[in-house]
Structure 1
Amino acid sequence: MAGHISPAALSTEEKDAPLAPFDNSYARLPERFFARTDASPVSAPKLIRLNDALARELGLDAARLAGPEGVAMLAGNAFPPNADPIAMAYAGHQFGNFVPQLGDGRALLIGEVIDRRRRRRDIQLKGSGPTRFSRNGDGRAALGPVLREYVVSEAMAALGIPTTRTLAAVLTGDPVYRETRLPGAVLTRVAASHIRIGTFQYFAVRGDLEAVRLLADHAIERHYPAARGADHPYLAFLEAVIAAQAALVARWMLVGFIHGVMNTDNMAISGETIDYGPCAFMDQYDPAAVFSSIDRQGRYAYANQPGIAVWNLARLAETLVPLLDADQDKGVELAEAALRTFQRHYEATFHSGLRRKLGLLTEEADDLKLISDLFELMAKQQADFTLTFRALGDDLDAVPGEGTARAQFAWPPLFDEWARRWRERLSREAGRDEERRQVMRSNNPKYIPRNHRIEALIQAAVERADFRPFEELLTVLARPFDEQPEMAHYAEPPKEHERVLQTFCGT
């Protein structure tokens, strides 16, 4: 719990300073981009946890945020005068079906701040009550999904994967009703922006080319300023978004992450991971792995993620065609050429990442065959994704036929044959063992937010108001590449009775 944070005595000047130095650029766009909305007050807000390090990164006073004034803002009960809460409008393809109006149905962008590195960041509340876009929903969030997003988003940040972050989690004191009565909570999310592919679709489907242009100009200014000086700025913008998404999905694949709902309204044009709903990290390697309870056809399975990213980007490209060229056929041709660059960008990140995971410091023609053979073996032998790669780094000095990696395979002699080829490949890079060891250690995490651990901490919090497992897992995941001997049990895969086969959407 964050109760250990005690607000420091504040000077008069500090008390008069705004709680957050908001500068709300998105709210200065035309009002058809959003709906100004107040949060619905909650009865008894109580801070679960404040992310002190992130608060400092944002240039915010953690002590004030943890005090009554800050908790009131984080719960949506009272905003400082310089806040400008809005629910953003967007559309989206959900499991391939287009919905022309979605929007923030349970979230409010309360403002933007410029962080200590001069980056503009959104601060948004999730679970703050209904908005104009709620579609008869209650606009609230249950405690479990809030804790899941806190844990997974911060784990992704520690893994070095572009992601939204979590600034705080607050109990509301009010129940929410899903299948059962559950404690309510509000999550404070921090993002480079909340502009989605679906945001462009919202205006394109309405034939509002002016809004598409304004949105593209805003996104270029905010995320891809280099595109302004290009011969074709909107094409350069599209190409930059494609490159960012390709690299992002490749990084997901390198750690066995499955987003679960890669709808176009859940894909940020900034290249950050956004909307942690029924997401999961694989235990046993399975390219067809699906955890989301609503993905009954496996559309967003692990191996499908790169292809779905291209599909989503094609929907973005469609909205930009009129900006690419006055001649529609020429605009389509430019968009298609840009989309063809996805594979090159994806492979550059994915293949180089796989080489690092295997300790291959140079490139050889047969490397990809060696890698694909390992994945095939892992799938057939039900090897744990994370622990297999981690063990390979630990086994660099092991005698052939020994070591910890082979224990991940149901029939270890099959792994031994692959390992012989791998060691033969490593031998052609003689004299670089220490460099290889460091590269593998820094690219193969030992600790990931495993499903059974997340479910256990949610159960403890919801049923017993015990947040110690939540705090402990966050501490472990903050150092995913370190050994942490006292926490080694957090690296263990689930026992058969602990396996979590389905994850659920937070709505």
Structure 2
Amino acid sequence: MSARYLSLSPFFYSTVKPTPVPEPQWIAFNQPLADSLQLPAEIASSEHAAAVSILAGNTVPSWATPFSQAYSGHQFGHFNPTLGDGRAIVLLEAETATGELYDIQLKGAGRTPYSRSGDGRSPIGPVLREYLVSETMHTFGVPTTRALAAVATGGWVRREESAPGAILTRVASSHIRVGTFQYAASQGGKERVQELADYVIQRHYPHLQHAKQPYFELIKTVMQRQARLVSHWMSLGFIHGVMNTDNCSVAGETIDYGPCAFMEQYNAQQVFSFIDKRGRYRYDNQPHIAQWNMARFAESLAELVRLPDETNDALIRRLSELVETFPAMYEAQWLQRFGAKIGLAQPTTADTQLIKDLLSLFAEHAIDFTLGFRYLIGELKEQPEAYATRQLFADPAPFLAWRKQWQQCVGKHAQALMAEVNPVLIPRNHHVEAAIQEAQNKGQLERFHKLLTALQTPFNEQHLGSELAQPANAEEQVTTTFCGT
């Protein structure tokens, strides 16, 4: 079993109690997830009388020692040495039957020592968005935090306008970030960095404990996790929106869903986040930002990986050479992901151009990214009524030329492979926004639960042709998303 986060020095956290709310009510409870964790009985089911009160922060049971984590972070490239959980409180670390620890965290549970001028609350919109998107990402097989529950607070949260408040209970293998290491390096020095690194190795990467250079291998391993994660995002058209270093998990999970979105028409420069005015975190820049974040991670561990008598120049050169291996890691993962999307089980670098040519066609003809790939299965079927990618083109001739070349490359198992990796459904912005508006303005959750249920089976071909699978029309399009802080 890994040691609890509270075994670290208090330098890394502050104990804090959630702030009670006026009238907590259930929005959703994820019973299958609860069943997979060894939770205390009081929160193992929404049927327990105390559950809604505990997950709203109104009751702190005897088994809980709530705390918020301290960390630093580069926000849009600018370093802030003192950030931390401004509206998130870890209620407990649940231990599974196999000894794995999971953070059970309340997001929007009130002020903490790191809130600065914030109120520590969340409007209902970002809670519903994170619940829908994180659970969908899980069904896609993307490493991610999970949504255990959502509770309406009965209070109001003031942002640009007032909105009902809510609290999300989320589950993560940990909430340790690149920014946590930056905090240790900038505020605590080598001793604190080593304490944190040893803890992360024990909790997430125990196989590194006996490595010859464990801290150097830790950097490499986290880089590999990030390359794998971001390539998976890219293969789904997912845009995180705020890839600050404090939103980058060292466990390789998608974390801190804010103004995230899935693009519809393929556009490599797509941005949704209201605060990303210059497109730093646009779709096609995500792998570059991931590498940039990994460089900051390597800097934070620099003193731990220094060899005896190694000069600063030699150390920097060695770490730079390591970080420069990231593009190759990412490109290998990208090729595997996108190769599978077009039915190639073992794509080679020679197939890269074939994939890029298809993406160029999608961009030039404004093709929906999700349906463009999913409908490729129909191009291999003989039924005339099959959904096929060519149907999405006003002039299919350029696509048909590409298809001729592609059909010479795919094997007999291509359809099954493509069906496994190309979803029919994604959380389309206009449907998510419609669910939020219904909850926010009318206090109704029917649309949210209908969408949540459908997104639990996103690869099911029975969704083909359904309303939820269709792109937004002109008046429905949602081009801007918000994080709710």
Same fold? TM cut 0.5: yes
Q: How does 1:185-196 map to 2 (within 5 A)?
A: 185-196=166-177
Partner of 1:331: 315
Q: Are 1:44 and 2:52 matched, yes or no?
A: no
Unmatched runs of 5 consecutive residues or more in structure 2: none
Q: Pick the aligned partner of 1:377 from 337, 351, 361.
A: 361
Q: Are 1:231 and 2:212 matched, yes or no?
A: yes
Deviation digits for residues 420-476 of structure 1 (CA, Å, limit 9, x no counterpart)? 1111223xx4xx2xx221101001000100100100000111111111111111111
Partner of 2:5: 26
CA distance in 2: counterparts of 1:363 and 1:56, whole angstroms: 38
Name which of structure 1's ranges 46-55 and 326-335 shifts more when overlaid on structure 2. Answer: 326-335
CA distance in 2: counterparts of 1:365 and 1:259, whole angstroms: 27
Q: Is the 8 A contact 2:17 2:60 kept in 1?
A: no
DSSP 3-state at the match of 2:50 = helix
Q: How does 1:107-122 map to 2 (within 5 A)?
A: 107-122=88-103
Name which of structure 1's ranges 473-482 and 402-411 shifts more when overlaid on structure 2. Answer: 402-411
Q: Are 1:57 and 2:73 matched, yes or no?
A: no
TM-score for both structures, normalised by structure 2: 0.95
Q: How does 1:1-400 map to 2 (within 5 A)?
A: 25-60=4-39, 61=41, 64-326=45-307, 327=310, 328-364=312-348, 366-398=350-382
CA distance in 1: counterparts of 2:72 and 2:97, whole angstroms: 33
Deviation digits for residues 179-225 of structure 1 (CA, Å, limit 9, x no counterpart)? 22211111001001000100111121125211111010110001111
Instruction: Go from structure 1 to structure 2 and tell me whether the alpha carbon gap of 1:361 and 1:23 turns closer, same or farther (over 3 Å shift).
Output: closer
Aligned-partner residue type, residue 463 of structure 1: N
The CA deviation at 1:331 is 3.0
CA distance in 1: counterparts of 2:409 and 2:388, whole angstroms: 20
Name which of structure 1's ranges 43-52 and 362-371 shifts more when overlaid on structure 2. Answer: 362-371
Q: Is the 8 A contact 1:234 1:324 kept in 2?
A: yes
Partner of 1:16: none
CA distance in 2: counterparts of 1:329 and 1:86, whole angstroms: 40
CA distance in 2: counterparts of 1:458 and 1:174, whole angstroms: 16
The CA deviation at 1:487 is 7.9
TM-score for both structures, normalised by structure 1: 0.91
Instruction: Go from structure 1 to structure 2 and tell me whether the alpha carbon gap of 1:84 and 1:487 turns closer, same or farther (over 3 Å shift).
Output: farther
Deviation digits for residues 278-311 of structure 1 (CA, Å, limit 9, x no counterpart)? 0000100000000000000000000000000000
Q: Is the 8 A contact 1:235 1:334 kept in 2?
A: no
Partner of 1:450: 428
CA distance in 1: counterparts of 2:120 and 2:282, whole angstroms: 28
Aligned length: 480
The CA deviation at 1:69 is 1.1
Q: Is the 8 A contact 1:50 1:66 kept in 2?
A: no
CA distance in 2: counterparts of 1:101 and 1:41, whole angstroms: 26
Unmatched runs of 5 consecutive residues or more in structure 1: 1-21
CA distance in 1: counterparts of 2:289 and 2:26, whole angstroms: 38
Instruction: Go from structure 1 to structure 2 and tell me whether the alpha carbon gap of 1:336 and 1:489 turns closer, same or farther (over 3 Å shift).
Output: same
The CA deviation at 1:332 is 2.3
Q: Pick the aligned partner of 1:498 from 460, 476, 483.
A: 476
CA distance in 2: counterparts of 1:63 and 1:300, whole angstroms: 37
Instruction: Go from structure 1 to structure 2 and tell me whether the alpha carbon gap of 1:63 and 1:131 turns closer, same or farther (over 3 Å shift).
Output: closer
Q: Is the 8 A contact 2:35 2:44 kept in 1?
A: no
CA distance in 2: counterparts of 1:363 and 1:273, whole angstroms: 26
Q: Pick the aligned partner of 1:489 from 459, 467, 477.
A: 467
Q: Is the 8 A contact 2:3 2:203 kept in 1?
A: no
Q: Is the 8 A contact 1:193 1:270 kept in 2?
A: yes
Q: Are 1:475 and 2:459 matched, yes or no?
A: no
DSSP 3-state at the match of 1:124 = strand
CA distance in 1: counterparts of 2:403 and 2:464, whole angstroms: 30
The CA deviation at 1:410 is 3.5
CA distance in 2: counterparts of 1:66 and 1:138, whole angstroms: 30
Name which of structure 1's ranges 324-333 and 348-357 shifts more when overlaid on structure 2. Answer: 324-333
Deviation digits for residues 85-109 of structure 1 (CA, Å, limit 9, x no counterpart)? 1110001000001111010001101
Aligned-partner residue type, residue 297 of structure 1: R
DSSP 3-state at the match of 1:125 = strand
The CA deviation at 1:130 is 0.5
Aligned-partner residue type, residue 347 of structure 1: E
CA distance in 2: counterparts of 1:424 and 1:221, whole angstroms: 48
DSSP 3-state at the match of 2:231 = helix
Deviation digits for residues 121-162 of structure 1 (CA, Å, limit 9, x no counterpart)? 001000000111101111001111100000000000000000
Q: Is the 8 A contact 1:111 1:122 kept in 2?
A: yes
RMSD: 1.9
Q: Pick the aligned partner of 2:400 from 407, 413, 416.
A: 416
Name which of structure 1's ranges 348-357 and 185-194 shifts more when overlaid on structure 2. Answer: 348-357
DSSP 3-state at the match of 1:229 = coil
The CA deviation at 1:399 is 8.5
The CA deviation at 1:486 is 8.8
Instruction: Go from structure 1 to structure 2 and tell me whether the alpha carbon gap of 1:443 and 1:211 turns closer, same or farther (over 3 Å shift).
Output: same
Aligned-partner residue type, residue 383 of structure 1: I
